[in-house]
Amino acid sequence: MEKNKVIITAALTGAVTPKEINEYIPMTPQEIADDAYACWKAGAAVVHLHMRDDKGIGTMDQERFAETIRLIKKHEDCNVVINCTTSGDNSASDEERVAHVKALKPEMASFDAGSFNWMPFGVFKNEPKFLEKLAKTLQETGVKPEIEVFDTGMLGVTDYYLKKGMLTAPTHFQFVLGVKGGMEATIENLLFLLRKIPEGSTWSAFGIGAGHMPILYATIALGGHVRVGLEDNVYLAKGVKATNVQLVERAVAAVKTYGKEVADPDEAREILGLKRR
């Protein structure tokens, strides 16, 4: 089953892009939850959650995570896998970045495996002391880390923590391509990363902006899973603003056109080795 099933993750909002660029970007817990439910109905097995404050800026506010998850689970028919960010506010303390994981115990949470200059905004900070705290929290709560890789050095960081026993194989990687300061969104770079991950790993990938479609199609062809959503790409075509649901629907169509099947949430849990909460 696993080789023919593709997990679609919907990354709904991110921490940066304002509504002025695309009015369909969800900001409030209700808007994010509504999009999560709609994307699940459209075919997403996983939703990746960031939170925004009242000004639309990324926040690690535990109560906003809790309210959004409550609103998603209010739909008794919805069994979508919830994946929470741990990097939605660069000014948050290490404790603030893991508090919602401790309290809410989502099935998955991001583990951004290193720091780099996210141009032109500043340093995307994931220092060793934070990563060790995060790894310990994930182990204690039983939350599956999604290891986000923006550049090749992050594979070395991941290997370091695997050898230390702070991360546990098999690991799940999310390749983030096209961020300025990270690896460009090219198929060559995707192939390079894929050759370097430990045997038995699961993996997903996406390209930012213009890199979205080449990486989407290449990932499906190479046997990976895919991530789409307004966190990463706000256009359906040049000048045409997208919705989260439209991006999921296009990914579903691409998976089916290739001759593969879209994984439902419970199939995604089996592939990723999750235990449903």
State pLDDT tens for residues 77-98. Answer: 999 999 999 999 989 999 999 9
Q: Does the residue 104 lie in any domain?
A: yes
Beta strands 122-124 and 116-118 are antiparallel
Q: Does the residue 24 lie in any domain?
A: yes
- Residues 230, 112, 200, 178, CA torsion sign: positive
Question: What 8-state DSSP symbol labels residue 80?
Answer: P
pLDDT for residue 275 is more than 80 = no
Q: Give the closest residue to 61 by CA, choosing from 32, 41, 25, 36.
A: 32
CATH number at residue 202: 3.20.20.70
Rounded distance, CA 6 to CA 208, Å? Answer: 20
Q: Determine the pLDDT at residue 215.
A: 98
**Domain limits for position 33:** 2-272
The number of domains in the chain is 1
Q: Does the residue 277 lie in any domain?
A: no
With H, G, I as helix, E, B as strand and everything else as coil, classify residue 65.
Answer: helix
Rounded distance, CA 115 to CA 22, Å? Answer: 28
Question: pTM of the prediction?
Answer: 0.97
